[in-house]
């Protein structure tokens, strides 16, 4: 039979390769929000969605949404999907896998000439990683009606504002609010994603069910000291912004290590003026803090903020603490988790629930209704790295599990 899960999984893997070659840079994979490269990836997926019998549309932030109608008279809709933007030097599966597995399931329904008691929409979100504007979930925020118009003034590293980027991508910034999805007909949102960690591999399980998603805060911390001549200013008279920032970065690591499950990362740093013979006058760094317990995350942030100010005071460095984005932790909807559990068992595998330390569009989609996620084992737990890898057999299991979930949902709910 042409549309068994293994054949579909082969197609998913081929398509992941095709998308993996659509990059802004030839030597590494990077697809930023609102770029011609992202458009190319979206157009490619739009073709696959159409082939699977879906009506395809694009909204004004650049999300692609394919719709496969349910039986005549069906009034409800289930949303599936993930994102097509990437980090820099990304792997091929973080995001695309969830879109491709969802399209594969619709393709199988279409081939069987089947309609479910509800419609399926597959969303390919335009920005989950936040690489270009440092703020995650731009795509799903629009769908959830949570897009903050203040984002339009954000500026990327090339000085292009978000509003300019949107216009040149073909979106109408004034229509973003109107792109919010009505939640009245929604049964929920289900996202398939690679695990991005080593747990499933250690347990020898192809898939796992996400119990919840860690809360996440992102900040920009700016350190302003005094630039000067590297040869003439004595050490005791310096106000070196980079030395202050370095002290803080080490502290971030130390504090995060004190609490189980707490992770804190400084992933970006810009030094000005940035010359080997000039004392650094200004440093801007990113800070990302995550934990499943919102209270502990907030307490840690308070502690880090206070310590940044105290480092600055001692070193005569002016510190500015800017909030980029904050999201509380999320518990997945138990009714959908239970259906996913039955779907996993129906494929002969035990249920394993695990939390997600990574952020996902599901966090934002929870504003609209119940959400659930299925994780697929990845090799060595590696992600946000070109070595990211999944096994085709595990993708086949994910397709079968999602298909079974769709059937169970059809029986449990529907019109
Ligand atoms: C997205 O991958 C994130 O968790 O930052
Ligand atoms: Mn990611
Ligand atoms: Mn992702």
pLDDT by residue (tens digit) across 205-217? 999 999 999 999 9
Ranges of the chain whose pLDDT falls below 70: 1-2, 413-415
Q: Which atom of ligand 1 is nearest to the CA of 290?
A: 4
Q: Does the beta carbon of 91 sit less than 6 angstroms from any atom of ligand 1?
A: no
CB within 8 A of 262, min separation 6: which ones? 255, 256, 289, 290, 291, 296, 297, 300
Using the mean position of ligand 3's atoms as its centre, give its distance from the Cα of residue 228 in Å.
42
Q: Where are the domains of the chain?
A: 5-214+332-414, 215-327
CATH of 215-327, one of 2.60.40.1220, 3.30.70.360, 1.20.1250.20, 3.40.50.2000: 3.30.70.360
Using the mean position of ligand 2's atoms as its centre, give its distance from the Cα of residue 36 in Å.
20
Give Cα separations from 78 to 12, 166, 186 (angstroms).
Answer: 21, 28, 6
Using the mean position of ligand 3's atoms as its centre, give its distance from the Cα of residue 105 in Å.
20
Residue 415: per-residue pLDDT: 43
Residue 151: per-residue pLDDT: 95
Q: Does the beta carbon of 129 sit less than 6 angstroms from any atom of ligand 1?
A: yes
Q: For residues 351 and 209, what is the distance between their CA atoms, to the nearest angstrom?
A: 7
Q: Strand (E) positions, 262-370?
A: 263-265, 269-272, 278-279, 282-291, 318-327, 330-331, 353-356
CB within 8 A of 130, min separation 6: which ones? 136, 137, 138, 218, 325
Q: For residues 39 and 337, what is the distance between their CA atoms, to the nearest angstrom?
A: 33
Ligand 1 pocket test: pick from 264, 357, 360 the residue with the most ligand atoms within 8 Å of its Cβ: 360
Q: Which atom of ligand 1 is nearest to the CA of 94?
A: 2
Q: Which burial class, exposed, middle or buried, applies to 174 when counting CB atoms under 10 A from its CB (0-12, 13-18, 19+)?
A: exposed
Using the mean position of ligand 1's atoms as its centre, give its distance from the Cα of residue 129 in Å.
6
Q: For residues 236 and 241, what is the distance between their CA atoms, to the nearest angstrom?
A: 14
Name the fold adopted by 5-214+332-414. Aminopeptidase (3.40.630)
Tokens, residue 302: 């308070």
Residue 414: per-residue pLDDT: 47
Using the mean position of ligand 1's atoms as its centre, give its distance from the Cα of residue 131 in Å.
10
Answer whether 235's CB lies under 8 Å from 281's CB: no
User: How many Cα atoms are found within 13 Å in the side-chain-facing hemisphere of 392?
Assistant: 14
Q: For residues 134 and 138, what is the distance between their CA atoms, to the nearest angstrom?
A: 10
Residue 1: per-residue pLDDT: 40
Q: For residues 347 and 139, what is the distance between their CA atoms, to the nearest angstrom?
A: 33
Q: Does the beta carbon of 341 sit less than 6 angstroms from any atom of ligand 1?
A: no
Residue 413: per-residue pLDDT: 59
Ligand 1 pocket test: pick from 82, 263, 268, 358 the residue with the most ligand atoms within 8 Å of its Cβ: 358
Residue 344: per-residue pLDDT: 98
Q: For residues 184 and 75, what is the distance between their CA atoms, to the nearest angstrom?
A: 10
Q: Which atom of ligand 1 is nearest to the CA of 357?
A: 4
Count of beta carbons in the 10 Å neighbourhood of residue 11: 18
Nearest ligand for residue 216 CA: 1
Answer whether 411's CB lies under 8 Å from 401's CB: no
Q: For residues 76 and 157, what is the distance between their CA atoms, to the nearest angstrom?
A: 42
Q: Does the beta carbon of 280 sit less than 6 angstroms from any atom of ligand 1?
A: no
pTM (two decimals): 0.90
Q: Which atom of ligand 1 is nearest to the CA of 383?
A: 2
Per-residue 3-state assignment (H helix, E strand, C coil) for 143-188:
HCCCCCHHHHHCECCCCCEHHHHHHHHCCCHHHCHHHCCCCCCEEE
Q: Does the beta carbon of 359 sit less than 6 angstroms from any atom of ligand 1?
A: yes
Using the mean position of ligand 1's atoms as its centre, give its distance from the Cα of residue 294 in Å.
17
């Amino acid at each position: 039979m042409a549309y068994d899960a293994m054949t579909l999984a082969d197609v998913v893997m081929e398509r992941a390769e095709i998308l993996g070659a659509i990059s802004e840079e030839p030597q590494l994979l990077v697809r930023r929000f609102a770029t011609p490269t992202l458009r190319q990836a979206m157009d490619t997926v739009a073709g696959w969605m159409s082939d699977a019998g879906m009506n395809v549309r694009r909204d004004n932030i650049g999300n692609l949404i394919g719709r496969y109608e349910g039986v005549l008279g069906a009034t409800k809709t289930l949303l599936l999907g993930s994102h097509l933007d990437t980090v820099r030097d990304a792997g091929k599966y973080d995001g695309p896998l969830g879109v491709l597995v969802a399209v594969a399931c619709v393709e199988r329904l279409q081939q069987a000439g089947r309609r479910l008691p509800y419609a399926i929409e597959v969303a390919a979100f335009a920005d989950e990683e936040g690489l270009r504007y440092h703020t995650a979930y731009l795509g799903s925020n629009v769908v959830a009606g949570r897009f903050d118009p203040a984002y339009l003034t954000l500026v990327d590293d090339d000085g292009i504002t978000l509003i300019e980027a949107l216009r040149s991508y073909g979106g109408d910034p004034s229509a973003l609010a109107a792109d919010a999805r009505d939640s009245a007909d929604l049964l929920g949102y289900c996202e398939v994603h690679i695990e991005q960690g080593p747990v499933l591999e250690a347990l020898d399980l192809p898939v796992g069910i996400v119990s919840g998603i860690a809360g996440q805060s992102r900040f920009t911390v700016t350190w302003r000291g005094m630039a000067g001549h590297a040869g003439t200013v004595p050490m005791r008279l310096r106000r070196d912004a980079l030395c202050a920032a370095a002290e803080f970065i080490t502290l971030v690591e130390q504090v995060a290590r004190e609490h189980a499950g707490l992770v804190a990362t400084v992933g970006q740093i810009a030094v000005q003026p940035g010359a080997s013979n000039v004392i650094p006058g200004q440093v801007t760094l990113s800070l990302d803090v995550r934990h499943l317990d919102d209270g502990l995350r907030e307490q840690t942030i308070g502690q880090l903020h206070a310590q940044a100010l105290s480092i600055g005071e001692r070193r005569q460095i002016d510190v500015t603490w800017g909030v980029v984005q904050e999201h509380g932790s999320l518990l997945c909807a138990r009714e959908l988790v239970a259906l996913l559990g039955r779907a996993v068992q129906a494929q002969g595998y035990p249920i394993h629930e695990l939390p997600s330390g990574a952020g996902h569009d599901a966090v934002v989609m929870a504003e609209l209704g119940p959400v659930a996620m299925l994780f697929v084992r990845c090799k060595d737990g590696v992600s946000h790295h070109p070595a990211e890898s999944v096994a085709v057999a595990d993708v086949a299991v994910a397709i079968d599990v999602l298909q079974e979930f769709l059937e169970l949902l059809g029986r449990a709910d529907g019109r």
